[in-house]
Structure 1
Amino acid sequence: MKTNFPTSFLACVLTVFSYACSAQSPAPVDKAAIMLKQFYTAYITVIAGDINTAKEEKIRKQYVTAKLLKRIQVLTDKEELDYDLFLHAQDADTRVLPYLKIVKDPKKPDTYTVTYGDSFTKHDASIKVHVIKEGENYKIDNVLN
């Protein structure tokens, strides 16, 4: 039996093409979640090390809105804040970094839950944060807990 090469080739190409078109496209990159992972990794590393207010301030300015920084300063000046707002703790431990999780809230837009294992209480700490886009970058605009 003689087969027609162009017809067989065309059928093969169409099969491959249809399979490629039906494949799932990758999930979009969540730039806000990436920013939060970068912030918490850098922030916990600085907080857990020697006291270095300049590094801590630099990280905050890079990842936190001016409005939230001002609010934190007011709370600190009034002595109403006796813990770290971003960690919901008084100190930090870099051993929690491998367990750091960032999950987008399915019900609230631009809101994420940041979870890490608290080495002092041996329980997970969860912090809800709201982010906004400023220019090309995302920044933490509010801590909701």
Structure 2
Amino acid sequence: MKTNFLTSFLACVLTVFSYACSAQSQAPVDKAAVMLKQFYTAYITVISNEHNNDKEEKIRKRYATAKLLKKIQDLTDKEELDYDLFLNAQDADTHTLPYLKIVKDPKKPDTYNVSYGDSFTKNVTNIKVHVIKEGENYKIDDVLN
């Protein structure tokens, strides 16, 4: 009887211990990286399918700070910007979405490396973005190309 109790007790302790260890090993969700993935997926989709300026602007306002939007507008007004700053390109194609990668820069806080490419040309576009937290949400604060 004592052996069964001891065996059951040890089995219970091991179960709790293994559950606690597995719970601790899960990495926290990087909400800024999730936001960037959502932004680039929505933005590339709209640009490649419709090039609808109203939808593009709505997406930009949702995911970028007012400071960055003003910077882009100022560069556009001065005709110093002949490409899309978010994409580091003039256009986009949804075929690049499977190759979209968001990686946190290990050396610069709140900075991420965004890259995408395509299977045809094998070219990879790299974009460095800085994010900040506004309220409960993260937003793109600058594009550092």
Give TM-score scaled by structure 2 length. 0.91
Offset of residue 8 of structure 1: 2.5
SS in 1 for 2:43: helix
Stretches (4+) displaced over 4 A = 118-121
Tell me the equivalent position of 1:111: 111
Residue of structure 1 equivalent to 2:139? 139
- Which protein has the bigger helix share? 2
The answer as to 2:9 corresponding to 1:10 is yes
Q: In structure 2, how many angstroms separate the alpha carbons of the residues matched to 1:136 and 1:34?
A: 14
What's the counterpart of residue 66 of structure 2?
66
Give, in whole Å, the separation in 1 of the partners of 2:121 and 2:59. Answer: 26
Q: Partners of 1:120 and 1:80 in 2: how far apart?
A: 30
> Which structure: larger Rg?
1
**Over aligned residue pairs, what C-alpha RMSD do you find?**
1.7
Q: Give 1:38-57 correspondences, 5 Å limit.
A: 38-57=38-57
| Identity percentage of aligned residues | 69
Q: Please, which moves more after superposition, 24-33 or 13-22? A: 13-22
Structure-to-structure mapping, 1:23-42, within 5 angstroms: 23=22, 24-42=24-42
Structure 2 gaps, min length 5? none
Distance 1:20 1:51 in 2: 49
Deviation per CA, 1:25-56, whole angstroms, max 9, x where unpaired? Answer: 21000000000000000000111122310000
